[in-house]
């Protein structure tokens, strides 16, 4: 177990900047997600920590020691690859035991440790199966057992769940989190799936175009995105353009809303999460001092526990999530008002 820190890492592939001065501390025993769209540099960062790529600038520390010149095989890491990369010519026992075999551990000891690891991932008794005789979820577990059986200092996961179907993925998310908690290993998880990042990690780092744009706990990042990119990438956001005057923003679609802080720029974009908005029919209007905009329901999407309304406000369509409390649905073409609190109205400069 160890902390990992990266300092000012930069990497270019030809003219493409893969990483641009990224610094980050991965604390001991925590679960980190590196989240970003494809090409954001998240996989490059992971492969650099593993040692497969070397940085053009900056350095990587594991346990306080610089590891820049230590090759992959000496870094004492565990890694799970996107397609698992199980050795097809070896059975499950040999796959999981591989890291022990190269370390020269005796056969009985190896068997004991492999059995322990297989038990941890709930695959006891699969020792003699070959990878092609396993389902996707089972391969995933073997890959995980193989990565942690050597008790590495850091566990690196490269989109390990992306090849699984949805049901299996949700199941593995819980499993992975349980195993990580049981073993207590510092884990860095690369994903482009925001849901995975939110549900599994203690800390999220969001990358865009090679830069670490924001990091923090899932709740912190979700509630306080520091840029439009983060607001839209993690969760959904309705973006309303307007002109700021003090704490008031005059919206392009008509109406004025209040914000909590005073925007520093005159031209702003307000971001409001769909679930922070409540919707009311015109004729049932109640008094409220929340922000309010008027619109007309375009359509609704009903999925049992909740409802999504698409509301036409001027030339914009605003998305609203409503919990299904009453079982009542507002029909299309109804005139409605949308309410949201000033503290949920986040403002960003309009670039």
Partner 1 sequence: MIFLKWISRIYLICILLFLYVPILVMIALSFNESQLYRIPIEWSTRWYEALASNSKLHSATLNSLTVALLSTCLSTSMGTAVALAFFRHDFRAKRLLQVMIFPPITIPWLIIGTAMLVFFFWVGIGRGLHAMILGHVALSLPYVVIVVSARLKSFDSALEDAAKSLGASYWQTTFWVTVPWLMPGIIAAALFAFAVSLDQFVISYFLAAPGFTTLPVEIYTAIRKGFTPEINAISTLVIFLSMLLLLGVSRFYRFGGRN
Task: Please report, as ranges, the residues that interact with partner 1 according to CB under 8 A.
Answer: 50, 52, 71-74, 76-79, 81-83, 85-89, 98-99, 101-103, 146-147, 150, 156
Sign, CA dihedral 13-18-20-23, equals negative
Of the two residues 11 and 146, which places its CB atom closer to partner 1 in the complex? 146
Helical packing angle, 136-148 and 166-183, nearest 10°: 20
CB of 335 to partner 1, least distance (A): 57
Of the two residues 164 and 293, which places its CB atom closer to partner 1 in the complex? 164
Of the two residues 88 and 108, which places its CB atom closer to partner 1 in the complex? 88
> Closest Cα to residue 139, out of 79, 82, 84, 80?
84
Which are the contacts of 27, defined by CB distance < 8 A and separation ≥ 6? Answer: 3, 186, 203
Of the two residues 190 and 251, which places its CB atom closer to partner 1 in the complex? 190
d(CA 22, CA 7): 6
Q: Decide: helix, strand or coil at residue 276.
A: helix
| Tokens matching residue 297 | 């329901």
Cβ neighbours, 10 Å, residue 110: 21
Task: Please report which helix (H) or strand (E) contains residue 250, including its range.
Answer: strand 248-251
Of the two residues 101 and 250, which places its CB atom closer to partner 1 in the complex? 101
Instruction: Please state whether beta strands 77-80 and 16-26 pair in parallel, antiparallel, or not at all (unpaired).
Output: unpaired
CB of 94 to partner 1, least distance (A): 10
Distances (CA, A) of 124 to 15, 120, 170, 189: 49, 8, 22, 25
The label of the residue with tokens 């998305």 reads 319
Helical packing angle, 107-120 and 92-102, nearest 10°: 120
CB 65 within 8 A of CB 91: no
Of the two residues 76 and 350, which places its CB atom closer to partner 1 in the complex? 76
CB of 43 to partner 1, least distance (A): 12
Question: Quick one: the chain helix, strand, coil %, rounded to 5?
Answer: 30, 35, 35
Of the two residues 130 and 232, which places its CB atom closer to partner 1 in the complex? 130
> Closest Cα to residue 308, out of 320, 291, 298?
320
CB 44 within 8 A of CB 18: yes
Of the two residues 74 and 296, which places its CB atom closer to partner 1 in the complex? 74
Of the two residues 123 and 206, which places its CB atom closer to partner 1 in the complex? 123
| Tokens matching residue 232 | 């839209």
d(CA 229, CA 232): 5
CB of 73 to partner 1, least distance (A): 5
CB of 153 to partner 1, least distance (A): 12
Of the two residues 82 and 312, which places its CB atom closer to partner 1 in the complex? 82
CB of 11 to partner 1, least distance (A): 17
């Amino acid at each position: 177990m160890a902390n990992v820190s990266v300092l000012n890492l930069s990497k270019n592939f030809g003219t493409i900047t893969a990483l641009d001065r990224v610094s980050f501390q991965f604390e001991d025993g925590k679960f980190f997600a590196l989240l970003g769209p494809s090409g954001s540099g998240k996989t490059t960062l992971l492969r650099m920590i593993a040692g497969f790529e070397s940085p053009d600038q900056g350095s990587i520390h594991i346990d306080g020691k610089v590891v820049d010149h230590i090759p992959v095989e000496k870094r004492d890491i565990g890694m799970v690859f996107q397609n698992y990369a199980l050795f097809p010519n070896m059975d499950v026992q040999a796959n999981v035991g591989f890291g022990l075999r190269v370390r020269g551990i005796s056969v009985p000891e190896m068997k004991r440790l492999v059995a322990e690891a297989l038990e941890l991932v709930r695959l006891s008794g699969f020792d003699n199966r070959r990878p092609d005789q396993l389902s996707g979820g089972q391969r995933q577990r073997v890959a995980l057992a193989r990565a942690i059986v050597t008790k590495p200092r850091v566990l690196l996961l490269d989109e390990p769940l992306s090849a699984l179907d949805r049901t299996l993925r949700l199941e593995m998310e819980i499993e992975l989190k349980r195993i990580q908690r049981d073993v207590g290993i510092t884990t860095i998880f690369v994903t482009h799936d925001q849901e995975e990042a939110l549900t599994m990690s203690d800390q999220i780092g969001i990358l865009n175009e090679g830069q670490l744009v924001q990091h923090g706990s899932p709740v912190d990042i979700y509630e306080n995105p520091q840029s439009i990119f983060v607001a839209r990438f993690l969760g959904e956001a309705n973006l309303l353009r307007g002109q700021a005057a003090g704490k008031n923003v005059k919206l392009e679609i008509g109406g004025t809303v209040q914000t909590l802080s005073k925007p520093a720029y005159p031209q702003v974009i307000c971001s409001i999460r769909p679930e922070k908005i409540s919707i009311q029919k015109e004729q049932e209007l109640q008094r409220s001092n929340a922000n309010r905009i008027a619109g007309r329901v375009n359509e609704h999407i009903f999925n049992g526990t909740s409802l999504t309304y698409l509301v036409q406000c001027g030339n914009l369509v605003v998305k609203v999530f409503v919990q299904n409390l009453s079982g009542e649905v507002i029909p299309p073409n109804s005139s409605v008002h949308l309410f949201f609190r000033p503290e949920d109205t986040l403002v960003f400069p309009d670039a």
